[in-house]
């Protein structure tokens, strides 16, 4: 079976075949001897790839895997061939690539909103200030953009991951 | 004789103090908020009492209720840990008034040293060198700007009641003064209930060097050498070590003697830390005294062999210090990496959540002081410090190589941590060379992260992991009934199925 | 230059050596049997190769296959750990013949010292004091009984190829000789494939004191002081410490010099241990040399600050020792409790099973070397050693109080362990007084267990725990649908429900 | 609700009543204030009894609980009132109290059987020898007894907990 993976902006096609007691994996013409063992924790695995052991924790959400490997975290989007073909056929209907939702990385209290709808902001410019654990934290623009929506108000308490505002990137 | 100690704190420092009490044969009383009903410090104590809802102001800062618990439980002494009420002179006073021993300095000493401006004056009088700065509080833009103009930018705005970087702002140009002053005052008010701030000359690329002191009630004041805490983010320490790569015996002795002088000038008793900035010409300037056991005390314990928390209890008991200045031997080198639940890729934003997988490193030269286990969670209400990972080595290189090994062994799932950041620092040539300053993270972090793009090889491995797990999911759905009777052909395959199916 | 090391072992010692390699920047190769596919030592290594089925003879003792893996993986050196092939001269020889460095003494030295009778002769020639005993093997009842009659009962039957108490039997009367001889021969055959045994005078209430030595290829031989290992069950050590409560500087120096002489007499290179018995008059007698890193090496590391496993690699690399006899400083006291999966209430029978809950102690002065984590299991095929728990203190009392604290913190579920036994010992007045002998467990255990009946208070608590859990089960069955919409009235109750429902 | 617990030979009656946010527990007229919290591990609990926290692990098998508490293991048999009454009414039909099944505490290989059916043995006398992990382990009689059954043979491999032989105690 072929899988289309995407980590950050890199797409990698992984082909997996079961051979006797292990898996044969192909990437870009390179071949790997791979074995997989589930440890007793729900999300902990041991892989041996060409005799190299790798202990990882992995959680799945839809087509997105979150992998913890050697202290770092990675996000990997995955589709099998069939899904990838399906998706490419409807690609035209996707949402604008330039629209970007800014969510809060922490729960807290909105102290101040420093921008208004329609305002142009530079990359790194402060959008708003959140207080959490007695510290004020500034949320800044990831790219040059125009503010298209603001979904919170000053003094409002926000949950982790809540949408704060929407930006349209300037290309 | 202290036989029962109430620990007016939570998290790793509560656990640390409980351990010291258990080793001293002392019974422990924990307190907890609604957020900590089943936390590790509660599970480790012999007694535990509820003191209120999750917000600190209604629980861990609620002086009356904590003293009630002390009375009800028959506590002989209260250890405040660090943070919360540790440097609150009112608490120290009320504890004493309730007939309970406060494990720390006298309330007057805490009050004097907690007021940064009063402390500065006292130190100037005692001949302790200080950074040029405002000798009175500065609360309006005009006087702040005028004073900053006099000593010259950059300047540092600091909370008079401050500590831990809260209410602190660097101002590099006069245009930034208005915004910085407002934010510093806001933070100071919210953190300390006291919005007074003052202004200091900002030293370029200084090192943060502090001296551990210990004083008993018999007039003995001893210093236990320095700690270098230059690696800071958001003005908070993340990596500490002893000895400092730039402090030699002569400088240690001079700084140590100055710290002892500072302690004597404030009638200091029990454990404390005198913080200094060291400039590039190795001039040192008094910064402040932390009137408590510090987060980073274990590195001093690792090189001196002295258990500071147990020594605090001895001193509170009225005993003499178990060592003298002459008997202290500094042995090897020790490092501490604070393991925060924070995302180093997102400006060290706290990462809140349940711990789903937890395994600490151990083995030679490793010490972990943690406040949670695999049943734990990082709460929105408190500091996101999971643990302190310390290593000891015969020399700094060995301590660093052990730290790398230990960081790589540490497994924490459920929240993001600063472990990847610490690994970058431990492999950074300037860090390895001991070329540190308090600007290290600001100057080096972005570059470190850029120079450490995900290797192609790592990316391919992640792709393989995910593709294989995805295939397993698909097969499980497809084959759940069809291949039960397959014969397994080899031990390998069998093992794989036992585990995977 | 050694850049890649194969660890021909499993469990805690494999993990210990992997840690030493990682700290030295050396790549590690693990080997594993079918029983260890996902074991911790495999997960910690950079490479891992399968070497056969679970029984040791077909995997960890399979010399040819291990050497094949070494060649295939491009290994520079092999570390044998302890047990398995560690003291097998054939293995050392074949490793060398394959062009790979053996991290340990030369095969000739292993062979000489592994033959207990040949070693005795060599030591007598070198002027090292030995226990009176048979200078040749004894394999029939007649000669055994005759010799035992000559030196006088009690006598000790020991395997010539032995170690670790295997094939060892005390015989107190001539009537017991037949059965004891047969069992010793059986065990010796099954453990070492060599049923030769010999007989020694059995000393009454001796202490087991051993000296750690370290020798390089440049002729430097240094001793690192003693370890006392008198607390043994089934002739195997369970608690070790340094310094010994009865060894003073003068005796340490004499025993150390004797150990160095023993090492030189056998052309010793790398780490080794010279074991002695110390009688009540403080006479010491050579017992044997263990030509490997020992289980209990961490206590020596804790007081000297020297990492013996890393030093072994240096020596194997042809480097000089990083220390001299004069530079060694012994600092404080260290204890080791071996945490076996065994039931101390049932004659220390192994307890096999999956670990369902696992949390190691940590904090000041604690070191744990373990071979598994919460994904682990204790297997029927190998030694049931879960970990080694060590504590360090400024003095023996502090090390003991830390050990008590650490034992109480250690949480292991799924198998029985010797932790309750260790706690009894740590609270035993003879142990605290340092009044030890190899008969300690035999003489004191039954009494300790009797004097420690379950307190009425504990019994009541257990009853409450069980009754409350039982009630919860009953309520869950009864109320699973009925009280979903109940309003929770307090934070307390809510918390309880969140957790319990 | 009342529960009848038995730990070793001690019977303790525990009466539990829910009061507001906690439980009120009575034993022998003494009253305890008790709270129970399940930690996220399946079998880990935190109890607070009169403000003393106790972390335990507990597993249930029929009416028998196995409790791990401060490093030690305890077995506790439990019945509620109703069951206890039921049992006492049929007590006459129970199995002989003197019959005792000896099971193996470890998996291994039977090396030698030292007794025969009908033989009288003294407390501590060796019954058989099992080899496990290269060590020979002797299984000895827990009390003076007569051997009434032997269910294994020499050279036989045995699983953990397997019945080895049956003794009838001599009173």
pLDDT in tens, B188-242: 888 788 888 888 888 888 999 999 999 999 999 999 999 999 999 888 999 999 9
Contact B22, C408 (CB under 8 A): yes
* pLDDT tops 60 at residue C79: yes
Interface of B with D in 362-401 (CB under 8 A): 374-375
Query: What pLDDT is recorded for position D139?
Result: 84
Q: Are strands C357-359 and C377-378 parallel, antiparallel or unpaired?
A: unpaired
- Per-residue pLDDT at C469: 92
Q: In the prediction, which pLDDT does D86 show?
A: 64
- The verdict on a CB contact (< 8 Å) between C354 and A40 is yes
B155 to each of B133, B173, B181, B296, how far by Cα in Å? 9, 9, 11, 27
Closest Cβ opposite residue B42 in set D40, D44, D53 = D53
The H or E element spanning position C357 is strand C357-359
Judge: C38–A37 Cβ closer than 8 Å, yes or no: yes
Please give the mean pLDDT across all residues of chain D: 83
pLDDT above 60: residue B483: no
Report the mean per-residue pLDDT for chain C: 91
> Is any Cβ of chain C less than 8 angstroms from the Cβ of D125?
no
Please state the separation of Cα C415 from the chain's center in Å: 19
d(CA A169, CA D168): 86
Question: What pLDDT digit, counting tens, does each position of A2-55 carry?
Answer: 999 999 889 999 999 988 889 999 999 999 999 999 897 668 999 999 999 999
Q: Which of A131-140, C55-64, C151-160, C352-361 has the lowest mean pLDDT?
A: A131-140
Chain D residues inside the 8 Å CB shell of C500:
36-38
- How far away is chain B from the Cα of C94, in angstroms, using its nearest Cα? 28
Q: Determine whether the interchain pair C23/B362 forms a contact, defined as Cβ–Cβ distance below 8 Å.
A: no
Q: The domain spanning residue A60 has which CATH number?
A: 3.30.700.30
What does the pLDDT look like over B428-468, one tens digit per residue? 999 999 999 998 998 898 888 777 777 888 999 999 999 99
Residue D99 pairs with which residues in a beta bridge?
A: D168
Contact D131, D111 (CB under 8 A): yes
The answer, yes or no, to whether residue C214 has pLDDT greater than 70, is: yes
Indicate if A48 and A104 belong to the same structural domain: no
Separation of alpha carbons B312 and B292, rounded Å: 10
Closest Cα in chain A, distance from residue B381 (Å): 6
Are D164 and D101 in the same domain?
A: yes
- C70 Cβ under 8 Å from any chain D Cβ: no
Does the structure show a pLDDT above 50 at C492?
no
Structure confidence at residue B377 (pLDDT): 92
Q: Do A44 and C375 touch (CB under 8 A)?
A: yes
Interface-testing mutation among C334, C362, C388, C407, with chain B (most B C-beta atoms within 10 A): C362
Nearest-Cα distance to chain C for B371, in Å, is: 11
Q: What are phi and psi of C222, to 5 degrees?
A: -130, 140
Q: Which of B292, B314, B396, B402 is catalytic?
A: B292
- Residue C264's pLDDT band, with cuts at 50, 70 and 90, is very high
Question: Which residue has better confidence, C334 or D78?
Answer: C334
pLDDT at C479: 52
Domain end: D55, D81, D107, which one?
D81
Same domain, A97 and A68: no
How many Å lie between the alpha carbon of B165 and the closest alpha carbon of chain A?
A: 10
pLDDT of residue C484: 37
Q: Test A27 with B464 for CB contact under 8 angstroms.
A: yes
In this structure, the answer to whether residues D100 and D62 fall within a common structural domain is no
Residue D26: what pLDDT? 96
| Binary contact (C37, A52; C-beta < 8 A) | no
Of A46, A81, A116, the residue at which a domain comes to its end is A81
Segment B102-140, tens digit of pLDDT: 999 999 999 999 988 899 999 999 999 998 887 777 878
B4-86 architecture in CATH? 3-Layer(aba) Sandwich (3.40)
Binary contact (B48, D44; C-beta < 8 A): no
Of B76-80, B227-231, C227-231, D116-120, the poorest mean pLDDT is in D116-120
Q: Structurally, how many domains does chain A consist of?
A: 2
Q: Give C361's pLDDT tier (boundaries 50, 70, 90).
A: very high
Q: Are residue A129 and residue A155 in the same domain, yes or no?
A: yes
Measured between alpha carbons, how far apart are the two ends of chain D, in Å? 38
Domain boundaries, chain C: 4-86, 104-131+204-331, 132-201, 334-469
Distance from CA of C428 to the nearest CA of D (A): 17
| CATH fold label, C132-201 | Dna Ligase; domain 1 (3.30.1490)
Partner residue facing B191 (CB), from A10, A12, A134: A134
Q: What is the phi-psi region of residue B353: left when phi exceeds 0, alpha when psi lies from -120 to 50, beta otherwise?
A: left
Smallest CA–CA distance from D48 into chain B, residue:
B48
The phi-psi region of residue A20 (left if phi > 0; otherwise alpha if psi is between -120 and 50; otherwise beta) is left
Q: Tell which CATH architecture fits domain B334-469.
A: 2-Layer Sandwich (3.30)
Whole-number Cα distances in Å, D34 to B54, C456, D19, D22, D49: 22, 18, 10, 6, 4
* Catalytic center residues of C: 292
pLDDT, residue A88, reads: 63
Over 50: is that where the pLDDT of C501 sits? no
Provide the pLDDT for residue A87: 63
Comparing CB atoms, the residue among D7, D55, D70 nearest residue C463 is: D7
DSSP B12-27: HHHHHHHHHHHHTT-E
**A152 vs B501, higher pLDDT:** A152
The average pLDDT across C244-253 equals 97
Contacts of D51 in chain B (CB under 8 A): 47-49, 73
Return the pLDDT at D94. Answer: 45
Whether B463 and chain A come into contact, CB under 8 Å, resolves to yes
D46 with B38: Cβ contact below 8 A: yes
Q: Is C497 on the interface with D (CB under 8 A)?
A: no
Same domain? For D146 and D75 the reply is no
> Which tokens in the block code for residue A158?
């926000």
Inter-chain contact C350–D16, Cβ cutoff 8 Å?
A: no
pLDDT at B501: 28
Q: Does A36 touch chain C (CB under 8 A)?
A: no
Q: Evaluate whether B132-201 and B334-469 have a shared fold.
A: no
**What pLDDT shows up at residue B479?**
52
CB contact under 8 A, C365 and B307: yes
Tell me which residue range forms the domain holding D13: 2-81
Angle subtended by helix axes B89-97 and B63-73, to nearest 10? 30
Q: What is the average pLDDT across C357-363?
A: 95
The conformation of residue B204, written as its DSSP 8-state character, comes to: S
Closest Cβ opposite residue C375 in set A40, A48, A52? A40
Same structural domain, D100 and D141: yes
Q: What is the reported pTM?
A: 0.85
Q: What is the CATH number of the domain that holds D148?
A: 2.40.50.100
Is chain B touching chain A, with at least 3 CB–CB pairs below 8 Å?
Answer: yes
Name the architecture of domain B104-131+204-331. Answer: 2-Layer Sandwich (3.30)
For residue A154, name the pLDDT band (cuts at 50, 70, 90): confident
One domain for residues A71 and A6: yes
Q: Of A128-137, B197-206, B229-238, D2-11, give the lowest mean pLDDT range.
A: A128-137
Residue C272 is predicted with a pLDDT of 98
Sign of CA dihedral C387, C392, C397, C402: negative
What local confidence, expressed as pLDDT, does residue B313 receive? 98
What is d(CA B212, CA B242) in angstroms, rounded to the nearest whole number?
A: 11
Å between C113 CA and nearest CA of chain D: 22
pLDDT at B497 over 50: no
Whether the link from the prior residue into C154 is cis, omega within 30° of 0, is yes
Residues of chain B positioned with their CB less than 8 A from the CB of C367: 362-364, 366
Q: In chain B, pLDDT over 90 holds for what percent of residues?
A: 70
- pLDDT at position B476: 73
Mean pLDDT of C11-29: 98
Residues 349-368 of chain C whose Cβ lies under 8 A from any Cβ of chain D: 349-353, 356-357
At residue D81, the pLDDT reads: 76
For D78-118, how does the pLDDT look when each residue is reduced to its tens digit (9 = 90+)?
Answer: 987 776 666 666 554 444 457 788 888 777 888 889 898 88
| pLDDT surpassing 90 at residue C152 | no
């Amino acid at each position: 079976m072929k899988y289309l993976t995407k980590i950050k902006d890199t797409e990698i096609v992984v082909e997996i075949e079961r051979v006797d007691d292990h898996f044969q994996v192909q990437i870009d013409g390179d071949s790997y001897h791979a074995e997989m063992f589930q440890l007793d924790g729900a999300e902990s695995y041991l892989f041996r790839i060409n005799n190299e052991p790798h202990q990882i924790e992995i959680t799945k959400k839809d087509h997105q895997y979150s992998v913890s490997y050697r202290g770092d975290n990675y996000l990997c989007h995955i589709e099998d061939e069939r899904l990838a073909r399906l998706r490419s056929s409807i690609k035209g209907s996707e949402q604008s690539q330039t629209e970007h939702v800014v969510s809060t990385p922490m729960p807290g209290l909105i102290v101040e909103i420093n921008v208004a709808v329609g305002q142009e902001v530079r990359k790194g410019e402060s959008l708003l200030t959140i207080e959490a654990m007695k510290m004020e934290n500034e949320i800044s623009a990831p790219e040059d953009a125009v503010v298209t929506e603001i979904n919170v108000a000053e003094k409002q308490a926000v949950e982790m991951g809540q949408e704060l505002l929407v930006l349209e990137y300037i290309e | 004789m202290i036989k029962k100690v109430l620990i007016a704190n939570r998290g790793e420092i509560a656990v640390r103090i409980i351990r010291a009490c258990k080793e001293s044969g002392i019974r422990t009383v924990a307190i907890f908020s609604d957020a900590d009903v089943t936390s590790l410090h509660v599970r480790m104590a012999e007694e535990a009492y509820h003191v209120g809802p999750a917000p600190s102001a209604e629980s861990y800062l609620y002086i009356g209720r904590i003293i009630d618990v002390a009375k009800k439980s028959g506590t002989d002494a209260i250890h405040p840990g660090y943070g919360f009420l540790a440097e609150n002179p009112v608490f120290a006073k009320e504890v004493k008034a309730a007939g309970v021993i406060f494990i720390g300095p006298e309330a007057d000493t805490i009050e004097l040293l907690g007021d940064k401006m009063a402390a500065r004056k006292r130190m100037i009088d005692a001949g302790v060198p200080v950074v040029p700065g405002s000798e009175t509080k500065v609360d309006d833009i005009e006087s702040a700007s005028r004073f900053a103009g006099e000593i010259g930018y950059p300047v540092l705005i600091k909370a008079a009641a401050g500590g831990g970087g809260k209410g602190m702002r660097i101002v590099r140009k006069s245009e930034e003064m208005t915004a910085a002053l407002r934010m510093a005052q806001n933070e100071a008010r919210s953190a300390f209930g006291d919005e007074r701030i003052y202004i200091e000359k900002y030293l370029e690329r200084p090192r943060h060097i502090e001296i551990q002191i210990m004083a008993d009630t018999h007039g003995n004041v001893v210093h236990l050498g320095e700690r270098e805490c230059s690696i800071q983010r958001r003005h908070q320490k993340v990596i500490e070590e002893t000895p400092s790569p730039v402090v030699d015996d002569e400088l240690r002795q001079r700084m140590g003697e100055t710290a002892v002088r500072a302690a004597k000038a404030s009638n200091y008793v029990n454990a404390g830390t005198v913080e200094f900035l060291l400039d590039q010409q190795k001039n040192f300037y008094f910064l402040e005294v932390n009137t408590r056991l510090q987060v980073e005390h274990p590195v001093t314990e690792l090189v001196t062999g002295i258990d500071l928390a147990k020594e605090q209890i001895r001193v509170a008991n009225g005993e003499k210090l178990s060592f003298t200045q002459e008997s202290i031997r500094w042995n090897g080198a020790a490092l501490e990496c604070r393991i925060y639940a924070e995302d180093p890729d997102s400006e060290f934003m706290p990462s809140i959540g349940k711990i789903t997988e937890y395994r600490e490193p151990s083995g030679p030269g490793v010490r972990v002081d943690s406040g949670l286990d695999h049943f734990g969670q990082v709460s929105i209400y408190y500091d996101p410090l999971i643990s302190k990972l310390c290593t000891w080595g015969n020399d700094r290189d060995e301590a660093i190589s052990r730290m790398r090994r230990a960081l790589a062994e540490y497994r924490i799932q459920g929240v993001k941590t600063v472990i990847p950041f610490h690994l970058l620092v431990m492999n950074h040539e300037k860090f390895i060379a001991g070329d540190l300053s308090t600007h290290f993270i600001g100057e080096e972090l972005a570059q470190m992260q850029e120079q450490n793009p995900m290797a192609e090889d790592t990316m391919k491995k992640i792709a393989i992991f995910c593709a294989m797990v995805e295939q397993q999911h698909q097969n499980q759905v497809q084959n759940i009934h069809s291949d039960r009777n397959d014969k397994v052909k080899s031990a390998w395959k069998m093992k794989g199925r036992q585990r995977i199916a």
